[in-house]
Amino acid sequence: MKKMYLLAILLSLTIPNIYAQVAIIANKGVSANSVSIAQLKNLYTLQSSELNSQKVRLYFLTNEGSTLSTFLKGIGENNGDLKKQWLKAKLTGGSTPPEPVSSEDDVLSKVSSTAGAIGFISADKVNSNVKVLLEIK
Amino acid sequence: MKKTKTVLFVLIMALMSQSNFAQSDLQVFGFFQGSVSKLKGGYSAIADVPAMVNPTGKLVLSEKKDDYTNPSIQQLNLFFRKELNEKFTAWVNFEILGSYNSGNSWGSFSLEEAWVNYQMNNAFNVKAGLLIPRFAYLNEIKNRMPLLPYITRPLVYESSNKTINYSHFVPERAFVQAYGYIPVSDITFDYAVFAGPSENSYISGSGATGGTSVDTTNFKLFGGRVGAKYSDLRFGVSFTSDKDNQQATIQEDVSRTRFAFDLGYSLYNFFFDAEYIAVNLKPKNSTKNQNKLFYYGTLGYNITDDLFAYGSYSYLKDENDNILNSGMKGLIFGMGFKPLESVVIKGSYAAYYAKSSFDVVINPNIPAVNTNVDIDYKSYQIAVSVLF
């Protein structure tokens, strides 16, 4: 029985989490120090293009791993519906959809170097060049 | 209109010019949808006549049968977008229909939209120029084929169906619209109010002394929509007021109001869209009922992120039309597949049909005779929609 428990613990350490902890990061020039889930959802569904009256520029991680899954679960949207809303905005002259980025390192680089930028990456990749507005577990 | 041409000129100059404000690059993109349609069907108008007119008791007043397979570039749209600064955005939309070819007089080329948008904040924006007003849900995106599962759209939104004057049911254009989004907790409320020119029949065509595309009236279109979105549920209520040109028949500009309700919902992988539009006309010079009604419902299923199927039913009735006062029905079944984000391959079966009876005078020497009209068209279509 003890061996079974030990095996279970070892397996849980080696099997990757389906849902990683995700940090919503912003350029240090963004005036807001926090964002709610509702505000975040409104930004990424293009219902809103401002945070605390400041225009923001969004980045969206396209790599379909645990970071993206956790983010989508956190804001209560699925990838297909989000893309439909972005396509509608694009084809009707509405707000610019988030810029797609394929890797978390690129998200970090773009957010740290672009004024007004907001993106999301795995919490363990955050560095001192950006600020964290929210963590989603 | 002269005002539209002036705005368009200013917009194009603004799009192409340099300025001291922080501007984005000019974005040029678009889409086209090509299709192959097999159409089979026809219409007939057959009168019940006395034997002295025809021993069989029937007289064919009009009849047409169609059976053909037609490949075409159904539609192509080219968009130009530029953020002039943080508050102003310019947008131009050219539309080409029906394998446009000026040499062969095929299809059409038109300026669909040209507007500048001012955003004070999310709750208040103003668009001015030539724009598609926000009425119901499908009106604003009826020509955005990559967004739609359809090849043939629900009845009043399918402009290729020449039996229907769809401008009775939906407003086609506006010249100014104020709109905004107001999030309250998990619900986002949205509104739009707009003003536009009178319907096309009031707009001067070629040869007019005042020039073409001049709105020859002082009365205009006014309307709006209020809606809300909560999670996967979207709904809205719309309204317009304008006039219907009936000068040729009853010498009157008839007051017309439209009311619409739209609903959209998705649950698990199912999606549902529906609209109901009622058009009320109040003529002073006629007692005839001229009201109109349209509704549709579409139920679909996302089999995967890239594969979907749907069925749609639509119904239309026009009390002021001998053929449509008994109702026209439309049925569509279709599927779509996205091999790439920017490409959708669609297939569909569409049918629309109407039956009506009314009296027609075929000879001044005999009483009016009952005439039966039968419209029945079916089409099988395959299309590819490409974003570029």
Q: In CATH terms, is domain B2-387 a member of 3.30.530.20?
A: no
From first to last of its 137 residues, what are the pLDDT tens digits of chain A? 666 666 655 555 554 445 579 999 999 999 999 999 989 998 999 988 889 888 899 999 998 788 999 999 999 888 888 998 999 999 999 888 999 999 999 999 999 999 999 999 999 999 999 999 999 98
Name the residue ranges covered by the structural domains of chain A: 19-136
Query: Do the Cβ atoms of A58 and A86 come closer than 8 Å?
Result: no
A50 touches chain B (CB under 8 A): yes
Looking at this protein, which amino acid is placed at residue B151?
Answer: I
- Its ipTM equals 0.84
Contacting A with CB below 8 Å, chain B residues are 29, 31, 79, 81, 83, 86, 89, 91, 93, 113, 115, 117, 119, 121-122, 140-141, 144, 146-147, 181, 183, 185-186, 188, 229, 231-232, 266, 302, 305, 341, 387
For B72-123, write each residue's pLDDT tens digit. Answer: 998 999 999 999 988 999 999 999 988 888 888 888 898 999 999 999 988 9
pLDDT of residue A11: 54
**So what's the pLDDT on residue A5?**
61
The reply to whether the predicted model has a pTM over 0.90 is no
Q: Is A48 exposed, middle or buried (0-12, 13-18, 19+ CB in 10 A)?
A: buried
Asked if residue B378 lies in contact with residue B331, where contact means CB atoms within 8 angstroms, the answer is no
Residues of A in contact with B122 (CB under 8 A): 47-50
Nearby residues of B28 by Cβ (< 8 Å), 6 or more positions away: B78, B79, B80
Q: Which residue has the tokens 């993109």?
A: B29
Confidence of residue B7 (pLDDT cuts 50, 70, 90): low
Question: Structural domain boundaries of chain B?
Answer: 2-387
Look up residue B119 and give its two tokens. Answer: 């955003």
Interface test with chain B among A57, A92, A95, A102, by most B beta carbons within 10 Å: A92
Higher pLDDT, B365 or B260: B260
Helix (H) or strand (E) holding A73: helix A66-75
Q: Locate B375 and state its tokens.
A: 């419209």
Q: Do B89 and A93 touch (CB under 8 A)?
A: yes
Asked if pLDDT for residue B3 goes beyond 50, the answer is yes
- Check CB contact of A83 with chain B, cutoff 8 Å: yes
CA distances from B305 to A102, A107, B203 (A): 19, 24, 45
CATH of domain A19-136: 3.40.190.10
In which residue are the tokens 């064919």 written? B60
Least Cα separation, residue B29 to chain A (angstroms): 9
